[in-house]
Each structure stands twice: as structure tokens, then as C-alpha cells.
Structure 1
Amino acid sequence: MKRNIQILSCICFCGFIGFLSIANIIQPNKQFSENENRYLAKVPTFSLKTLFNDNYTGKLETYFTDQFIFRDQWISVKSLSKKLTGSIENNGVYFGKNNQLLQMFATTDMETVNNSINYINQFIHKVDVPVDMMIIPTASEIESSALPVFAYNENQEAILQMIESKIDANWIDIYSVLSGTDQVFFNLDHHWNEKGAYLAYLAYLNFLGVEPTEFTYEKVTDDFKGTLYSKAGTFWLQGEPLYKINPVNQVKSTITFEDGTSMNSLYSDKYLSQKDKYSYYLDGNHALVKIKNEGVQDSLGTLLVVKDSYSHILTPYLASHFDEIILVDLRYYRLPISKLIQEEEVTNVLLVYNIENFLLDKNFSFLK
């Protein structure tokens, strides 16, 4: 009897392995993973040169890993099993309370930070317009009550105070604005949401001495599953809402991108049917974006925003106060910013960065 069970177990195991092998061979390769929001590895080209000089075996292993059958299901099973067995994180993302996901906060070496501050200060003293700055803490700091027990959480307030003490820009204290609030970040993404961006908008206008306008909100999807959803592999979770931000003064905006293409809206509807739904705001990442706004009352002029993607959901608020907004992403833009300021007759400069991006970014050397 025992031998029969062993034989049956062996047959089942071999059958399972055989099924997986055949399935992996016959299934078509996928080019893109919607859940992970990235392109998957392709079959590496084989030759004696690539075998010995181009890490062929490593690339082949990556290909098999990326193209393994039921990949999304295996990732989800791994993530769920870690959570059920008491782990507080997966792949650098904490399993927070009420199904909120929170990015582990990681700093960088102080040499990089100090270099960035020096580049920014040199830029500030070079241009003839006011330079304002807001650095946004992460959800793990502002919504720390959602963190699991024993989660490590570095003091971001102290880091922000250090940056403020060294930077020569006009400091917009977003930490104080967001402290004590909740639900100002997405549950499944690392960005702040429309509520968090609105609070920052109020703080900036208060600094400028300008009265804010009013906005209405239109839900455009219930299925936003952001970067933390992908990174943590929590593919069993339901998506969350994404909102269009409409000013009551009905400002009309036209966007022109660096390649000359344009659209008559701050929103790109095509992304609502894709995984990367945050790119609904301003059509995602671009080197240079110019926004012309019609119907602005008491315009403040032209605003240049040097930024990361946190600015994308903030811009619809700011568009009600500037005839033109120019957004520059230093990861892709290499022309002199000071020249752009002169050519576009910029009246205000605003730096908008998430704290983690700011600490890791090595592109401020291009801020000239």
C-alpha cells in the first residue's frame, strides 16, 4: 500500500512538472505585464560570443522567469502566503492596515544630497525670478498609523528640516500641511492623491498671497492599481478611484509636448483603459510640457515647474492661476533652464519632488 502511494505521488509530481514544461513551451511569449507595469524579457540571441561575453545564461534565466506560465498567479500566491504567515512586507512594500500598501522609505548617502542642494542653490542665485520649493514626505511618514507593527520608519521630518536649513529656495512646508491628515495618498500607489495635492495647492497659494479657487471632482475610474500594487504582487486587491479635477471657473488648457504634439486637456483618457492609470494626468512623463491656460482671472504669469511625477496631479489646481505652466523633468531635459526662463518670460519657479526621489536624484547637475 505504501509503495503504491509512493508510485502515485511520483506519477503526479512528474505529470505536474511535465505539464508545466509543455505549457511553457507552447504558450506565446508576453511582451508586457499589465500587473507589473513593465516589459518582459525576450529570448536572448544565442552565439558563442554572447554565451561567453554577454551573460547569456543570466539573460536566459530572466527570460524563463518572466515568461513562466501563470506568472501573475505565482507572484500573487507568494505575496499572499507571506502576508498570511506573518510577514509585514513583500519586495520593499509594507502590508498596511485596511489593505493600504506603503513603500519602505530608503535614504541615500549625504554626499548625493549635499551635491543636489549645491546645484539648486547655484541655480537660484543665477536666475532673476523667485524659486520656491516643496518636498513631499511619503505615506509611511504621514499615514504611519497604517504601518504594520515593527515596521521600520525613518524620521522624514528631520531630513526635511536638514534640507530646509541648507536650501536657499523659498520653502513651502508640506510636511506640516499634511501632518495629522489621512487618506491623502493612494492606497495602492506611492503618489499623493487629489486630496493631498489640494492641500499643497492651498499652502502654495497662501505663500503667494492668493485666494484659491473652487473645484469639483469627477470619478473617471474605480480600478486604479498603482506601483505599490505591482511591486508587492498583491494582485488580489481591488482597485481604487481616480478623479478628474475641474475648476469652477472653467479654465481651458492646451498642452504641447517636446515633440510638438498637443492635446486640448490636462487629461489623457487613453490611460484609463491601461494599467498605468496615473498617466491620465498630463499624459505621464515628458521632458518638457507647456500648458497654455485660457480664462485665468488675475493671472500670476508664467510658472516653471521643475519636478517629478508628484506634480502631475498638482498641476490641474495650479492651472487656474497661471496663463502658462511649463514643466521640466531633469531626467530627460538637458537644455539650460536659465535660458528657458528668459525665453518664456517665466515669473515663478517651483520645484516639486517627493522626498525619496529628491534624495536619490542625481540629475540636479543639469539645473543650469
Structure 2
Amino acid sequence: MRISFYASSLVSCYWNGAATYYRGLVRALAARGHEVTFFEPDAYGRQQNRDMADPDWARVVVWPATEAGMARALEQGRHADLIVKASGVGVFDAELEAGVLSLRRPGNLVAFWDVDAPATLDRVEKNEDDPFAALIPRYDLVFTYGGGDPVVRAYERLGARRCVPIYNALDPATHHPVPPAPRFRAELGFLGNRLPDREARVDAFFFKAAEALPEARFLLGGAGWESRAMPENVRYLGHVGTADHNAFNASVKAVLNINRASMARYGFSPPTRVFEAAGAGACLITDAWEGIEQFLEPGREVLVAQDGTGVAAHLAALDPERARTIGAAARAKVLARHTYDQRAAEVERVLAGRDLGEEAA
């Protein structure tokens, strides 16, 4: 199958939290024999901050962030069997959402792939005049990278023909155990860009935990935190490229996951860092959200905290041996049940008109 994928970026993780998801999924689809062309705009400094070269498992087309550039990109992708518009391209999103639908022809499929369904749904449900609302029923299907039944029901209320979550996962070739790196040694590490929907939760779960454990070392990575006042025991690293994620995850005693507020509210939305950390064999502490047990078993494969006090308590009680045991159990789970090859197989079943339940029956 030939696939045209219009999204933010495959080759840069700079201000692009979906990069790991796109890479794992596209690589897995290519390994299963599909031909993927990934169309991404030259925007937000991503091309100037690439963290990988064009891969041999996908064709990357970088288009100028102009109306003419967008139109040419649509024309180049029109002959695919599956045409995908992902959320959050960052430029000309509304035009692309309508534009891909104009490429429908007998024998092809047009899909919307929502990598931030809570934000999209909140926006559409609060604004009756949002132009995307009228387009939802016209897509052959909607994929999301999280949200579970709450997101599926919300999209169905908006007229989606079919909505299927394709969750984040692990690419074992990319995220795996490595030797610890002295520059990343600390008791707790967190990676996440500074976003309005996340900052209050970072305050509650990360900075409050750092204040509660002044003798412990904390690492913060991600863009946008330069102006933020921090406790003295927090070291700010700035943007941490994906090439350093394994070393980061393998070097701290525990890795913290903090879902954005909207994702925590919808639940069933494990971000990429959950599987990155598990793939590296790291001990993960996560904020509480509905559905975590669908991916990792609390207490054995992941530690769950209700707030920063809970994070600090987990960290204070965590010895190196237990941290290694939890990390090893998490890695075994994701390798067995949550790889991108398994996600790509699920995409194939959906496109073929079959789902897991029907196949099992």
C-alpha cells in the first residue's frame, strides 16, 4: 500500500512531541511492505534542528510553508492508496484538513490521524463554528494515538464513521538499555516541553517533589523552561534530542511521566516517554490517569503517584535494586505487548475492515 502522510515532522523532534510516534509507526509500516511518503513543512526551526537524516524506510518531502508549497505537496501525494492528515502540522492545518479530502477517488482511503485528540475534541466541542467539525464525517476513518473509549465516543458523537486508537508503543531498535551516562546521573528525570496544558501539572508533580527532597538531584529536559524559577536541586538541560533519550532514561534512578491536563482527563493516553523509558529498562513514576493498567501494572511495572508528595514518597523509598526490577518488568511487558510492529498490524486490520475482536471470533 502506498501511503501519503501529512504531519509535523519525521526527521526532527524539535517542538514536535509526536516525532517518536511517527518514526516508530512509519518504520513498522515500511517493514511490513508499505511505501510511505511523509510530507512535512519547513516550519518552527525543525529542519534547522534535525536529529536524524532522511531514513531509508520512508521518503521525506519537506515543503515550503506557503500556500503554493502546500498545494504542491497535496498534488504530489494524491496517488496514494491511503492519504493521512495528522493533527498539529502547525501550518495550514485547516487547509490540509479540507485539502486531503479533495484527493479522494475510487479505491483510496482518506484518514485523519489525531495525535492530540483531547485538545482537538475540546476545541471542536467548545466552538460550534470550528470548520473541522463539518469535515469529521467525511473522513473514511479517524485514528488517534490515545484516549480509549472516551475519545472514540466523542468522535462518534461528532459523526466519525469509525474511530480507532492506535496507541504509542516501543520501537526496540530505537529505545533500549544503554550504559549510564555520568552527565545524566540524578534521582529523578523529566522530559517535556513547557506547554500551557502541562505547566501546572509539572509544578504539582515535579517541582513540588524537588522541594520535598532538597538533597536529591532532579533533571529537567525540554524546550521553553529557561525563564522558569526552579528549586536549587533541579538542573535544567534544555532541549534533549532523541539520540540522548536512552542515556537519559538509563542514568537516572527513576523517570517521571506527567500527562498534560487534557490527556489525564480523557485517560488511556500513554505518551511516548512511557514506552521510551520502559524500552530502556528505566523505572517509571507516572501521574495517575485512567487506563494505566491497560499498559503497565501499577506497583510491579510502574509506580503511580497522585501528586508531588506521592512522587517524593516513591522516590524516597526506592532503592536501586527495586528500581532495576521495576524497569526490567516494564521492558518485558512492552516488548511482549506494545511494539510498533503490533500497532502497524492493528492498522492493517482496521484498513482491511477487520478488528481484533472480529478476528478472535
TM-score normalised by the shorter chain: which range applies? under 0.3
Q: Please give the TM-score of this superposition, normalised by the length of structure 1.
A: 0.27
TM-score by length of 2: 0.27
Bigger Cα Rg = 1
Higher RCO by CA contacts (8 Å cutoff, separation 6 or greater): 1
